[in-house]
């Protein structure tokens, strides 16, 4: 029969040899071999960890608060008159009513220095 060589070729292609079967089964039953990661993978992992630690350090760092100096003047409002007092004792009265209660002089500034009151 003319089909016999073709049939045999198909069987040879589909059915593996006993040596091939033995090699595949023994490889499947053998414990898995663990390969150590390469130097490149370890270096990339280390650099990623360092980058994350640096980013957390930078973004979690709270800035040092800027010291606020003690106030040098105190400003209060009494009616239409503004009273400005310095820490050294100087006093300014700013406004219409400061020097002229009748309102004849506009924009008056009176300054009192310590010891001159």
Name residue 112's beta-bridge partners: 91
Residue 63 lies inside a defined structural domain of this protein: no
| Interatomic CA distance for residues 27 and 78, integer angstroms | 97
Q: Mean pLDDT over residues 22-27, rounded? A: 88
Decide if 98 is inside a domain: yes
Q: Of 73, 70, 108, 101, which is closest to residue 87 (Cα–Cα)?
A: 73
- Say if residue 30's pLDDT is above 70: yes
Q: Is 78 part of any domain?
A: yes
> Does residue 96 form part of some domain?
yes
Q: pLDDT tens across 40-91, in order?
A: 888 999 999 999 999 888 888 777 888 888 878 888 887 777 888 887 888 8
Please report whether residue 11 resides in a domain: no
Tally of domains in the chain? 1
Confidence band, pLDDT 50/70/90 cuts, at residue 97? low
Res 116: pLDDT: 56
Q: Please give the residue range of the domain that contains residue 79.
A: 73-112
């Amino acid at each position: 029969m003319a089909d016999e060589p073709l049939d045999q070729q198909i069987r040879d292609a589909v059915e593996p040899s006993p040596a091939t079967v033995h090699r595949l089964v023994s490889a499947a039953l053998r414990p898995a071999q663990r390969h150590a990661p390469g130097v490149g993978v370890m270096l990339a992992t280390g650099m990623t960890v360092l980058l994350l630690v640096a980013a957390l350090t930078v973004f979690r760092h709270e800035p040092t608060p800027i010291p606020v100096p003690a106030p040098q003047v105190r400003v209060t409002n009494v009616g239409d008159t503004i009273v400005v007092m310095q820490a050294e004792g100087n006093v300014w009265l700013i406004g219409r009513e400061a020097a002229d209660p009748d309102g004849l002089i506009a924009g008056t500034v009176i300054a009192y220095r310590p010891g001159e009151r």
